[in-house]
Structure 1
Amino acid sequence: MSGRLLRARDGAVERWTLDHPAQRNALDDEMVRALLGACADAAADTSLRFVVLTGSGGAFCAGGHLGGMAALVGQPPGEEQTDPLLALNRRFGDLLHALCALPQVLIAAVDGPAMAGGLGLVCCADFVVATPRAVFATPEVTLGIVAAQIAPFVWRRLGDATARQMLLEARRFNAGEAVVVGLVNEMADKDLEATTAALIAHLQRAAPGAVAATKRLLHTLATHAVKDVRDEAAQAFATSLRSDEAREGLEAFAQKRIPRWAP
């Protein structure tokens, strides 16, 4: 079953809920396309002021859904065709850029795991609210895969040292640690929705036009600071997923054992 995106509007606030709890709201291509469509709608909607991105079923997002790519793991691409992994991964990169370019304030409301690509979504938010159950990690390198599209956004949000901990060490951060490193802005000790609503009420003091203009300036600064590597990232991801390392890493994960990396 493909994932779904639920959209609910309440005045100037729209809530986007990743709704595939059986897969911990993993991002398949349908979900990515739905989010891109939501971003396009929001970019053209001057009456919308806030977007809240969240997940259902006690998880935010487990990252990319590799089920449809299982047959490609460890296999070379065909000789006379464009690697389908390139377009799939590039589209996810387009989503990250579209989220960052939203004129509205984007709030990530995180309950449970935000892993891999899910962490990438979090790093695109202007503000992040999390419950004590939230956990953040990028485990890709332990699976023989490159966290290619999200790397610039993790680096931009957290800085070089912490980004290296997440991307190279695959270190997990609980909600409290995420507050300390600046990934989470506010802890929701009791009610995630109430805490998010209180944040929105506070942010409504700002003029929407001024917010949109400020976000455009910040996005321009960020674009200058971080090179657009969507195409290079797609190639790095595709190459890593088709490698022997990915085959071994994903098999080891499924079998709950330590990977046996080649020297």
Structure 2
Amino acid sequence: MSNTVLYETDGAIATVTLNRPGRLNAMNKELIVAMVETMERASSDLAIRVLILTGAGRGFCAGGDLAGFADGEFKEEQAIETKIADLRQSMRTSQRLRESSFVSIAAINGACAGAGLSWALACDLRYAAQSAKFSTAFLNAGLSGDFGGTFSLTQIVGTAKARELYLLSDRFSAADAERLGIVSEAVPDEDLLAHVRGKALQMADAAPVALRCIKQNLNDATKLSMSEAMDNEADRHSRCGTTEDNTEAAKAFLEKRKPSFKGR
């Protein structure tokens, strides 16, 4: 397997590290293929409750590697239908981050642009190093955007701000990203991974069934009517109420101790 994407697990937490530090983890074909494989692997492992996505070195992911566009790596002679199908398959990585049962956290340690920003936006939570820089970047590369960035950014910041960020393609700072709600918090660079891991541990220690159902409820809120979403809420809430973990949570609260959840 390619080493352009590293995958490691520690209990219920998986860490995915984009590993082309010399290119700020920009996407080439090898990295994209490795990311597809990695996300399929993670999404099929039901033991994983939280996944951290980060980058090696000074960057999170600078988007598509422009050197690849310049030397023709992304311009093979193919029918346009084949190009579309191949890209759409690669873009499933963003869907895995959003739709898989685990909670996904982007630890944005540096440059975050283009499709790299799209990956970050697809995550459930985002934290950034204070030195991180952001840009939608596609317009500057003569492209319209992929990996779900326009969809995710519109949901996070609203239509007006998403249009501004995409149509002007200006750079913005981690402080700006925090102010806009794109990241939950901008933290000192040296504290980022420890901070994110602390959040991951907090969720990994929570009741697994309830954690998974809460994510499903939140995903439903973006695509269903209120009535349909409440139907699903009622179903999931009632089922969570029949679990051993629900009983354990109540006992632990009354006994003033940390609960020991079993995921059932």
TM-score (norm: length of structure 2): 0.75
Q: Say whether residues 1:24 and 2:12 are aligned partners.
A: no
Greater alpha carbon shift after TM alignment, 6-15 vs 38-47: 38-47
Letter aligned with residue 184 of structure 1: V
1:187-202 pair list within 5 angstroms: 187-189=186-188, 190-202=190-202
Specify the alignment match of 1:63 in structure 2: 63
Residue 118 of structure 1 deviates from its aligned partner by 0.6
The number of aligned residues is 222
Counterparts of 1:125 and 1:194, CA distance in 2 = 18
Structure 2 distance, partners of 1:103, 1:62, is 27
Once the two structures are superposed, residues 117-152 of structure 1 have per-residue CA deviations (whole angstroms, 9 ceiling, x without a partner) of 010011011111111111111122123211144211
Residues 56-94 of structure 1 show CA distances to partners (whole Å, capped at 9, x for unaligned) of 111000001244443669x8977xx34553234223322
2:65 matches 1:33: no
Deviations 1:9-62 (Å, cap 9, x if unpaired)? 111111100000111101123222222222222222222111110001110000
Partner of 1:158 in structure 2? 157
Q: Who is 2:92 aligned against?
A: 94
C-alpha distance in 2, partners of 1:82/1:118?
A: 24
Q: Distance in 1 between matches of 2:76 and 2:52?
A: 40
User: What's the counterpart of residue 237 of structure 1?
Assistant: none
In structure 2, relative to structure 1, the CA distance for the partners of 1:76 and 1:109 (3 Å cut) is: closer
> Aligned partners of 1:77 and 1:151: how far apart in 2?
28
Deviation at 1:115, TM superposition (A): 0.4
Residues 1:212 and 2:212 aligned together = yes
Q: Secondary structure at the match of 1:129?
A: strand
In the alignment, structure 1 segments of 5+ residues that lack a partner are 226-263
- Distance verdict in 2 for CA 1:38–1:77, change over 3 Å: closer
**What residue is the counterpart of 1:247 in the other structure?**
none
Q: Which residue of 2 aligns with 1:52?
A: 52
The residue matched to 2:156 in structure 1 has which SS? helix
Whether contact under 8 Å (2:13, 2:201) holds in the other structure is: no
Query: Gaps (5+ residues) in structure 2?
Result: 226-264
3-state SS of the aligned residue for 2:59? coil
Partner of 2:83: 85
Going from structure 1 to structure 2, the CA distance change for 1:194 and 1:63 (only over 3 Å counts) comes to same
Inter-partner Cα distance in structure 1 for 2:63 and 2:76: 23
Match of 2:117 among 116, 119, 123: 119
| Corresponding residue of 1:178 | 177
Structure whose alpha-carbon radius of gyration is higher: 2
CA RMSD of aligned residues (A): 2.6
Q: Which amino acid aligns with 2:139?
A: V
Paired residues of 2:52 and 2:104 also in contact (CA < 8 A): yes
Residue 258 (structure 1) aligns with: none
In 2: Cα distance, 1:131 partner to 1:216 partner: 28
